[in-house]
């Protein structure tokens, strides 16, 4: 109890300090000046709707930030951009931060806010399937994702949970780029594909296949996609990180309170080539399975599940403690406000 009181007191003091710093910074810049934050997202996906809501509805601007958004198309590429200093904040799976830490980085990547709470992938079968069972993948060919990435490792984890050994009992194609895999499947490659929505909803509407399972539901809670900064940036710019986290939480709360149709109207500008029905359907899938965190607090149990998945995949031989590469100091402040 004494430690809890000390922690609360410390968080309150930190909040006062950060709020004062941010207010001073905003006054110094003037009312029309914003701090530019270069943000790299791992992929462009409906899965990240709370982020797009926060941008579209001006939540970042109201916190004094101007977001310069780019898409890395891969956690490895996003982590590389963050390490090089070409972006300020990287949005990708924590596995990338684990790999960087294990390589002995002098300025490691620190996760500070979590957006999604489970895998965003679904499984599509090329041919009609009645009463889908995971056992049906035995002897089949699945178009998967990059080895070492969370989508691929979660697929392998789920298969093992159902007694199917990846690459032994089932063939998994892992050499395709994430954004090109759906086209390859549509052209006839594989019996199944594991991929984010709305890609699979689009393929389903084209008659390519049928969505038969959710990897998110099958795998359960996991620290899936997290915002990261270099430790040096985080330490030098706590007021920016706090403002950023606050905007993300506002986006999370907004999607909690609105329907897929209402969310689609806000985020449609980020998906200009997508028809309204596909967008609404995909948003409904994610909302119905509780894909989005309700606060930016990083789940310790979800992080442990990630480590378990990585170890099962043979990508990690020793756990990295949560506090070495993750921090909830900003998310806790925001959640208490």
Q: How far apart are CA 78 and CA 163, in angstroms?
A: 33
CB 172, CB 155: distance < 8 Å = yes
Q: How far apart are CA 76 and CA 83, in angstroms?
A: 11
pLDDT greater than 70 at residue 249: yes
Q: How far apart are CA 313 and CA 161, in angstroms?
A: 12
Q: How far apart are CA 193 and CA 210, in angstroms?
A: 10
pLDDT band at 330 (very low <50, low <70, confident <90, very high): very high
Q: Note the pLDDT of residue 157.
A: 96
CB 328, CB 298: distance < 8 Å = yes
Q: Give the residue with greater pLDDT, 11 vs 269.
A: 269
Q: Note the pLDDT of residue 2.
A: 39
In tens, the pLDDT along 81-118 reads 999 999 999 999 999 999 999 999 999 999 999 999 99
Q: Note the pLDDT of residue 74.
A: 87
Between strands 35-41 and 65-71, the pairing is parallel
State CA 234 to chain mean position distance. 19
- Please indicate whether the domains covering 2-117+223-336 and 121-219 agree at the CATH topology level: yes
- Integer angstrom CA distances of residue 90 from 104, 113, 229, 243: 19, 11, 6, 16
Q: Note the pLDDT of residue 128.
A: 85
Q: How far apart are CA 150 and CA 172, in angstroms?
A: 15
pLDDT band at 32 (very low <50, low <70, confident <90, very high): low
Q: Note the pLDDT of residue 138.
A: 97
pLDDT greater than 80 at residue 248: yes
Range 2-117+223-336: architecture per CATH? 3-Layer(aba) Sandwich (3.40)
- The share of the chain scoring above pLDDT 90, in percent, equals 85
Task: Write down the mean pLDDT value for the chain.
Answer: 91
pLDDT greater than 80 at residue 311: yes
CB 69, CB 41: distance < 8 Å = yes
Q: Where are the domains of the chain?
A: 2-117+223-336, 121-219
pLDDT greater than 90 at residue 227: yes
Spell 23-54 as b/e; 16+ CB within 10 A means b: eebbeeeeeeebbebbbbbbbbbbbbbbbbbb
The per-residue DSSP string of 125-157 comes to ESS--SS--GGGGTT-EEE---TTSHHHHHHHH
Instruction: Quote the pTM value.
Output: 0.86
pLDDT greater than 60 at residue 222: yes
The CATH number assigned to the domain with range 121-219 reads 3.40.190.10
The per-residue DSSP string of 24-73 comes to HHHHHH-TT--EEEEEEESS--GGGHHHHHHHHTTHHHHTTEEEEEEE-S
pLDDT greater than 50 at residue 178: yes
Beta bridge partners of 69: 39
CB 114, CB 249: distance < 8 Å = no
pLDDT greater than 80 at residue 9: no
In tens, the pLDDT along 315-329 reads 999 999 999 999 999
* Residue 261, phi then psi, degrees to nearest 5: -65, -40
Q: How far apart are CA 119 and CA 223, in angstroms?
A: 9
CB 37, CB 86: distance < 8 Å = no
């Amino acid at each position: 109890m004494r430690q809890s009181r000390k922690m609360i007191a410390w968080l309150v003091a930190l909040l006062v300090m950060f709020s004062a710093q941010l207010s001073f910074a905003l006054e110094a810049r003037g009312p029309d000046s914003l701090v530019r934050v270069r943000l790299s997202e791992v992929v462009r996906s409906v899965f990240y709707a709370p982020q797009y809501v926060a941008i579209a509805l001006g939540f970042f601007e109201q916190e004094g930030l101007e977001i310069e958004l780019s898409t890395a198309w891969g956690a490895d590429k996003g982590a590389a951009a963050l390490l090089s200093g070409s972006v300020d904040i990287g949005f990708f799976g924590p596995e990338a931060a684990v790999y960087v830490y294990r390589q002995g980085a002098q300025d490691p990547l620190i996760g500070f806010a979590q957006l999604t709470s489970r895998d965003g992938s679904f499984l599509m079968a090329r041919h009609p399937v009645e009463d889908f069972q995971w056992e049906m993948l035995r002897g089949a060919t699945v178009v998967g994702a990059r080895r070492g990435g969370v989508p691929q490792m979660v697929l392998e984890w789920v298969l093992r949970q159902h007694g199917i050994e990846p690459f032994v009992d089932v063939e998994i194609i892992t050499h395709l780029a994430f954004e090109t895999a759906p086209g390859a499947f549509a052209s006839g490659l594989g019996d199944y594909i594991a991929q984010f929505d709305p890609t699979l909803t689009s393929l389903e509407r084209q008659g390519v296949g049928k969505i038969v399972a959710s990897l998110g539901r099958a795998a359960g809670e996991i620290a899936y996609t997290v915002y990261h900064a270099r430790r040096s940036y985080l330490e030098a710019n706590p007021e920016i990180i706090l403002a950023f986290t606050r905007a993300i939480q506002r986006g999370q709360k907004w999607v909690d309170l609105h329907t897929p149709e209402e969310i689609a109207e806000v985020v449609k500008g980020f998906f200009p080539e997508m028809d309204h029905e596909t967008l609404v359907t995909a948003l409904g899938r994610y909302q119905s399975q509780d894909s989005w965190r309700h606060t930016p607090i990083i789940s310790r149990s979800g992080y442990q599940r990630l480590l378990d998945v990585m170890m099962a995949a043979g990508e990690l031989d020793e756990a990295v403690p949560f506090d070495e590469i993750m921090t909830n100091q900003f998310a806790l402040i925001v959640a208490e406000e």
